[in-house]
C-alpha cells in the first residue's frame, strides 16, 4: 500500500535535536538509497498535499516531531452535515455579540486595556483582546499593533502559510462503482496536480473531492483553468477519457483561498528553524494581548482541531489574566 511505502521514508526523518533543514534537503540526501527513489517521490507529494507545503521551506524537525503522518491516515472521520454545523454550534450562544463585516485595522494596548479600531474608524474598547487571524496577517502590518510586539512578528515569520486547491465535483452517477470500487474512500496520485481524490464513503453520494497542496496548488489556481485540469486528471486516475468525464460531471465547485484577502492561504506549517515559533505565539502578552489560531497550536497545528484547541487555550489565559 502507498502509506506503507511512504512510511519507509518518514521513519528516516532526522532525529530530534539535529540541525534543522528543509524536507527538500532531506530528500536530496536520498535516504534509503536508490531503492527508495519512488518512495521518496511519493513522500514529496504527500508532504505537499498533506501539509500544503513547499518542500524547500518546510522544516524537517517539525515533520519529525509530528511523527509518521501515514500512521492512522487511512481512518477518516467527517461531520456529516459539513463544517457549517460546527460553526452553527460554536456561535449559537454568542451570535448577538459577533459583529460581521467589521475589518480590524489597529490594536492599541497598554496596562489599562485595549482599543480596537476598525476600517471605518470606529473604536471598540475591552480589558483584553484575542487576536486570531490567518498567519499572513501576523506576518505583515495588515493589522497594526501599538506598541508593536516584535516577538510575535518574528515568530510568525518563522512559519509559512500553506496553499491548497480543493474542488468538489458533483457527478451524475457514481461511475467508480462500475469499476468494482464500491468502497472507494481515497485514491492517491502523489505526483499529479491533484494528489488525492476521495469520495464520501461510507456515505453514498455523487460527489468526488480533489485535493492539491503546496506550489502545485498555487500554480493550479493561478492558471485560471481549474475545471479543465479536473476533467483531465479524473480521466487519468480512473483510466477513462476526458469526453466521458465531461458527460459524467454535473458541476465543479472551488474557492481560491490563496487569493482571498481574508485568508491568503490554507493553513500554516513550520519553516526551517521555526519549531519553537508556535509556542512563542501562544504566550500571553502583558495580560492584555493573546494570540490564537491554528498556527499557535503545538499539538495539531494546521487543523481545525488545532484552531479549536488554541481558542480554548487563549480563553483560559484570558480568564487567568482577569482573575489576577
Using CA atoms, how far residue 147 sits from 177, 281, 285, in Å, is 60, 16, 11
Full-model pTM: 0.91
| Residues lower than pLDDT 50 in the chain | none
pLDDT for the residue numbered 22: 97
Dihedral of CA atoms 86, 87, 90, 93 in degrees, nearest 10, equals -130
124: nearest Cα among 145, 147, 107, 100: 107
Q: Cell triple for residue 157?
A: 515569520
Sheet holding 123-126, edge to edge: 123-126, 113-118, 104-110, 144-146
d(CA 195, CA 38): 15
**pLDDT single digits (tens) 71-127:** 755 566 778 888 899 999 988 888 899 998 999 999 999 999 999 999 999 999 999
d(CA 300, CA 312): 13
Residues 6+ away with beta carbon under 8 Å from 322: 127, 128
Dihedral of CA atoms 300, 141, 290, 84 in degrees, nearest 10, equals -50
d(CA 122, CA 160): 32
d(CA 320, CA 246): 58
66: nearest Cα among 8, 10, 134, 4: 10
Q: Is 156 exposed, middle or buried (0-12, 13-18, 19+ CB in 10 A)?
A: buried
**pLDDT single digits (tens) 271-299:** 999 999 999 999 999 999 999 999 999 87
Q: CB neighbours (10 Å) of residue 116? A: 19
Amino acid at each position: 500500500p502507498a502509506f506503507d511505502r511512504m512510511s519507509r521514508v518518514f521513519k528516516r526523518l532526522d532525529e530530534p535535536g539535529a540541525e534543522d533543514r528543509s524536507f527538500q534537503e532531506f530528500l536530496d540526501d536520498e535516504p534509503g538509497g536508490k531503492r527508495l527513489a519512488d518512495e521518496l517521490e511519493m513522500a514529496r507529494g504527500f508532504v505537499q498535499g498533506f501539509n500544503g507545503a513547499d518542500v524547500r521551506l518546510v522544516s524537517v524537525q517539525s515533520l519529525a516531531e509530528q511523527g509518521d503522518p501515514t500512521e492512522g491516515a487511512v481512518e477518516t472521520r467527517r461531520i456529516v452535515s459539513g463544517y457549517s454545523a460546527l460553526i452553527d454550534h460554536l456561535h449559537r450562544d454568542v451570535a448577538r455579540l459577533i459583529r460581521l463585516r467589521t475589518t480590524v485595522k489597529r490594536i492599541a494596548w497598554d496596562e489599562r486595556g485595549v482599543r480596537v479600531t476598525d476600517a471605518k474608524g470606529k473604536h471598540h474598547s475591552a480589558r483584553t483582546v484575542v487576536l486570531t487571524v490567518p498567519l499572513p496577517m501576523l506576518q505583515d502590518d495588515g493589522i497594526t499593533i501599538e506598541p508593536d510586539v516584535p516577538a510575535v512578528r518574528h515568530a510568525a515569520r518563522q512559519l509559512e502559510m500553506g496553499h491548497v486547491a480543493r474542488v468538489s465535483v458533483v457527478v451524475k452517477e457514481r461511475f467508480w462503482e462500475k469499476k468494482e470500487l464500491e468502497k472507494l474512500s481515497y485514491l492517491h496520485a502523489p505526483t499529479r496536480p491533484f494528489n488525492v481524490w476521495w469520495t464520501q464513503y461510507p456515505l453514498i453520494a455523487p460527489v468526488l473531492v480533489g485535493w492539491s497542496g503546496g506550489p502545485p496548488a498555487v500554480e493550479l489556481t493561478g492558471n485560471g483553468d481549474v475545471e479543465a485540469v479536473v476533467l483531465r486528471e479524473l480521466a487519468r486516475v480512473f483510466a477513462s477519457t476526458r469526453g466521458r468525464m465531461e458527460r459524467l460531471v454535473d458541476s465543479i465547485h472551488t474557492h481560491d483561498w490563496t487569493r482571498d484577502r481574508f485568508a491568503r492561504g490554507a493553513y500554516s506549517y513550520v519553516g526551517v528553524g521555526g519549531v519553537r515559533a508556535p509556542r512563542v505565539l501562544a504566550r500571553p502578552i502583558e495580560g492584555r494581548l493573546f494570540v490564537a489560531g491554528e498556527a499557535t497550536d503545538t499539538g495539531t497545528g494546521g487543523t481545525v482541531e488545532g484552531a479549536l484547541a488554541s481558542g480554548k487555550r487563549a480563553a483560559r489565559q484570558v480568564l487567568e489574566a482577569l482573575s489576577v
